[in-house]
Homo-oligomer: A and B are copies of this chain.
Amino acid sequence: EARLPPGYTIRPLQASDYHRGVLQTLAVLTTVGDISESDFIKRFQYWQDRNDTYYNVVIVNDKDRVVAIGSVVIERKLIHHCASAGHIEDIAVASSEQGKKLGLHLINTLTAIAEQVGAYKVILDCSDKNVPFYEKCGYTHSGNEMVLKF
């Protein structure tokens, strides 16, 4: 079982994380863009209003900075007798915090949330270079991600 370094905590995203560097951490993954505090609060509120669907988790370090973020989105289906499926999305760990197993801890936590809400599976999409990491988290390769960008 992954353990966090002393002084680090894992918890749900908070509105005040805007001031703890959450967007800078997310920018490790892809383009984030210039998001104002009110844009952030609006998105945060959208998620709060759908708290059976969006679960956003962060890891905060011993200096009260957000150094990892990720989410699991719960999709309700008809298949498998009206089952739910979890989608792990937008995983990012600050570059300066690599090697501390924060990613593993985050994925374990998000996977456990999906299990708790009764999902029959969790899926995620990743590049070739991240396949070994997700295998360490217990995931197996199961198909191809296809994309169409507008």
Instruction: From the candidates B23, B39, B46, B145, name the one contacting A123 in the complex (CB within 8 A).
Output: B145
Which residues on B sit within 8 Å (CB–CB) of A78?
A: 23, 26, 32, 35, 40, 43, 90
- Bound form: Cα–Cα A47–B145 in Å: 25
Instruction: From the candidates B30, B76, B77, B141, name the one contacting A144 in the complex (CB within 8 A).
Output: B141
User: Cβ of A146 and Cβ of B150 under 8 Å apart?
Assistant: no
User: Cβ of A87 and Cβ of B87 under 8 Å apart?
Assistant: yes
Interface assignment of A53: CB less than 8 Å from any CB of chain B = yes
User: Cβ of A143 and Cβ of B127 under 8 Å apart?
Assistant: yes
A114-132: CB near B (< 8 Å → 1, else 0) gives 1100011111111110010
| Copies of the polypeptide in the assembly | 2
Size of the chain A interface, CB-CB below 8 angstroms: 60
* Min distance, Cβ A135 to any Cβ of chain B, angstroms: 8
A44-64: CB near B (< 8 Å → 1, else 0) gives 001100100110000000000
Q: Name A's B-contacting residues (CB within 8 A).
A: 23, 26, 29-35, 39-40, 42-43, 46-47, 50, 53-54, 73, 75-82, 87, 89-90, 111, 114-115, 119-128, 131, 134-135, 137-150
The 9 closest A-B pairs by CB, nearest first: A33-B81, A143-B145, A139-B146, A142-B147, A121-B149, A134-B146, A125-B143, A139-B148, A122-B148
